[in-house]
């Protein structure tokens, strides 16, 4: 067997893995032919979330029409839209007994509606089959097109999430066909047009080389348009071809960013290395509802 | 009864991992849920728990080894 130096990943990257629960979850999902962002993006929290019976479903995949350099989702020729997929997500939500479900998608720049209709169908069917489940969508930027955003807004998800991913200066280096200003515009449009009961959320990764000032500027930009929730987590480079990891950001900085974000008025902030956009999303909504 | 422990599939994207540290040594009692060993996958260090109660008899891989899914990792004498 080949020898290599001992792992150098930081201590907090240690996660426990419950094989039985992950097997159970995979069995359920494979039976329904669904993709989870957990598995597709190789998420570090997969073991914990699957262990707790939580998953984030990724629709319209598995291939993405964009090739962002931080991302582990396969870039490739898109598949035809699966008309039964919304039903299967709703059925999986039911079988798992989820009280909060997250639905995200790959980018579908090839489709006339950029994938908005599939989000709407999925939201509607989840709600029909699971009337007590709260629904969070994590959407692409829909190229900033208001008619696509209107459709998803009208389906009234409880949380509308669209990720900024990183600060302004790094955005063109890591995102493909997406801009800082388009993402801000998306969040502003949703905030201005969605019902007051819809929370607007975004998330960023740290460790790409951003400075404190840039992170605070991002927070200010988000609060200027009244974004409600912010998630901050560590970028983990998926493979050698992806954007190079610049830094394992120390825990202290996450605490500082948490305080700064709260001070600026975000209603909920999750700031910790293993935080991902949908990690503990249910707890976040409960905190705001005061349950 | 002896039970073989094989490397589980810990990452959907890869079948080859670097073996980290052992948490149990040969002769140690092991309970279900105890961490047996650590493995470094693409994105995390996974702590793999025992599915059995028993005694660890043999370690078949060492820290720093490259292991593949399905490789024999250890043998446990199941109680």
Digit-coded pLDDT (tens) for A97-109: 888 899 999 999 9
**C-alpha to C-alpha distances, B3 to A23, A146, B19, B65, nearest whole angstrom:** 19, 59, 20, 22
Please name which of A264, A265, A268, A261 lies closest in space to residue A286, comparing C-alpha atoms: A268
Query: Touching check for A5 and chain B: CB below 8 Å?
Result: yes
Cβ within 8 Å, pair B65-A1: yes
The helix/strand count (H/E) of chain A reads as 11, 8
Q: How close A198 comes to chain B (CA, Å)?
A: 33
Cβ within 8 Å, pair A17-B46: yes
Residue B55 forms beta bridges with which residues?
Answer: B29, B77
Cβ within 8 Å, pair A17-B47: yes
What DSSP string runs through B9-49?
A: --BTTBSEEEEEEESS-TT-EE-TT-EEEEEE-SS-EEEEE
Per-residue pLDDT reduced to its tens digit, A248-285: 999 999 999 999 999 999 999 999 988 888 777 777 77
**Structure tokens, B24:** 């149990």
> Which residue carries 């388009």 as its tokens?
A182
What DSSP string runs through A227-275?
A: --EEEEEE----STTSPPP-----HHHHHHHHHHHHHTT-SEEEESTT-
What average pLDDT does chain A have? 89
Lowest mean pLDDT among A2-16, A110-124, B29-43: A2-16
Residue A159 forms beta bridges with which residues?
Answer: A136, A199
A205 to chain B: which residues are within 8 Å by CB?
A: none
Query: Touching check for A40 and chain B: CB below 8 Å?
Result: yes
Cβ within 8 Å, pair A19-B8: yes
Q: Domain residue spans in chain B?
A: 2-78
What DSSP string runs through A55-93?
A: -EEEES-S-BS---TT--SPBSPPPPP-TTHHHHHHHHH
* Banded model confidence at residue A247, pLDDT cuts 50, 70, 90: very high
Residue A17 forms beta bridges with which residues?
Answer: B48
Q: How close B1 comes to chain A (CA, Å)?
A: 21
Q: What angle do CA A213, A214, A220 make, to 5 degrees?
A: 90
Q: What percent of chain A has pLDDT over 70?
A: 91
Cβ within 8 Å, pair A17-B20: no
Q: Domain residue spans in chain A?
A: 13-289
Architecture of domain A13-289: Alpha-Beta Barrel (3.20)
For residue B75, the SS3 value is strand
- Whether A272 has a binding-site annotation, put simply, is no
Mean predicted confidence (pLDDT) in A138-153: 98
- Whether A148 has a binding-site annotation, put simply, is no
Q: What per-residue confidence (pLDDT) applies to A283?
A: 78
Mean predicted confidence (pLDDT) in A136-160: 97
The CA distance from A183 to A162, in Å, is 7
Q: What per-residue confidence (pLDDT) applies to A5?
A: 41
Q: For every one of its 79 residues, what pLDDT tens digit does chain B have, with 9 covering 90 and above? A: 999 999 988 877 788 898 999 999 999 999 998 999 999 887 788 889 898 899 999 999 999 899 999 999 999 999 7
* Banded model confidence at residue A4, pLDDT cuts 50, 70, 90: very low
Query: Touching check for A2 and chain B: CB below 8 Å?
Result: yes
Given a cut of 60, whether residue A7 has pLDDT beyond it is no
Q: How close B27 comes to chain A (CA, Å)?
A: 23
Q: What per-residue confidence (pLDDT) applies to A120?
A: 98
The CA distance from B10 to A68, in Å, is 25
Lowest mean pLDDT among A7-11, A224-228, B3-7, B73-77: A7-11
Given a cut of 80, whether residue A238 has pLDDT beyond it is yes
* Exposure of A186 in the CB half-sphere (CA atoms within 13 A): 24
Residue A18 forms beta bridges with which residues?
Answer: none
Question: Which residue in chain A has the smallest CA separation from B7?
Answer: A19
The helix/strand count (H/E) of chain B reads as 0, 8
Q: Which CATH number does B2-78 carry? A: 2.40.50.100
Q: How close B42 comes to chain A (CA, Å)?
A: 6
B12 to chain A: which residues are within 8 Å by CB?
A: 39-40, 42, 46
Say which residue, B42 or A153, is predicted with more confidence.
Answer: A153
* Exposure of A139 in the CB half-sphere (CA atoms within 13 A): 36
The CA distance from A116 to A153, in Å, is 10
The CA distance from A235 to A23, in Å, is 27
Q: What per-residue confidence (pLDDT) applies to A1?
A: 47
The CA distance from A167 to A207, in Å, is 11
Q: What per-residue confidence (pLDDT) applies to A42?
A: 66
Cβ within 8 Å, pair A6-B63: yes
Q: What per-residue confidence (pLDDT) applies to A141?
A: 98
Lowest mean pLDDT among A46-55, A85-94, A222-231: A46-55
Given a cut of 50, whether residue A166 has pLDDT beyond it is yes
Q: Phi first, then psi: give them for residue A103, nearest 5 degrees.
A: -120, 125
Given a cut of 60, whether residue A12 has pLDDT beyond it is yes
Q: How close A43 comes to chain B (CA, Å)?
A: 7
Q: What angle do CA A205, A210, A216 make, to 5 degrees?
A: 85
* Banded model confidence at residue A8, pLDDT cuts 50, 70, 90: low
Cβ within 8 Å, pair A18-B49: yes
β-pairing verdict for B54-59 and A159-161: unpaired
């Amino acid at each position: 067997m080949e020898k290599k130096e001992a792992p150098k990943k930081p201590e907090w990257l240690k996660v426990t893995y419950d094989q039985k629960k992950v097997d159970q979850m995979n069995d359920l999902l494979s039976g329904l032919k669904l993709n989870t962002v957990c598995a597709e993006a190789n998420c570090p929290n997969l073991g914990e979330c699957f262990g707790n019976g939580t998953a984030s479903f990724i629709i319209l995949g598995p291939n993405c029409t964009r090739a962002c350099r931080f991302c582990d989702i396969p870039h490739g020729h898109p598949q035809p839209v699966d008309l039964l997929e919304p039903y299967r997500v709703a059925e999986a939500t039911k079988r798992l007994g989820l009280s909060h479900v997250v639905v995200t998608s790959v980018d579908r720049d090839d489709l006339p509606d950029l994938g908005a209709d599939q989000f709407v169908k999925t939201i509607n069917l989840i709600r029909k089959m699971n009337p007590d489940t709260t629904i969070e969508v994590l959407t692409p930027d829909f190229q900033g097109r208001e008619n696509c955003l209107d459709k998803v807004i009208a389906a009234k998800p409880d949380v509308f999430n669209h990720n900024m991913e990183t600060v302004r200066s790094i955005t063109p280096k890591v995102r493909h066909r997406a801009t800082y200003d388009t993402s801000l515009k998306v969040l502003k449009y949703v905030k201005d047009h969605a019902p007051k009961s819809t929370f607007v959320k975004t998330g960023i990764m740290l460790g790409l080389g951003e400075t404190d000032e840039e992170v605070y500027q991002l927070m200010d930009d988000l609060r200027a348009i009244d974004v409600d929730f912010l998630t901050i987590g560590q970028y983990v480079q998926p493979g050698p071809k992806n954007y190079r990891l610049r830094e394992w950001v120390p825990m202290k900085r996450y605490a500082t960013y948490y305080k700064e974000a709260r001070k600026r008025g975000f209603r909920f902030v999750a700031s910790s290395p293993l935080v991902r956009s949908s990690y503990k999303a249910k707890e976040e909504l409960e905190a705001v509802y005061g349950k | 009864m002896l039970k073989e422990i094989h490397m589980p599939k810990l990452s959907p994207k890869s079948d080859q991992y670097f073996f980290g540290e052992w948490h149990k040594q040969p002769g140690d009692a092991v309970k279900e849920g105890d961490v047996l060993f650590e493995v470094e996958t693409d994105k995390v260090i996974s702590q793999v728990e025992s599915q059995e109660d028993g005694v660890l008899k043999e370690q078949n891989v060492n820290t720093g080894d490259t292991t593949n899914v399905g490789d024999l990792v250890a043998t446990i004498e199941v109680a």
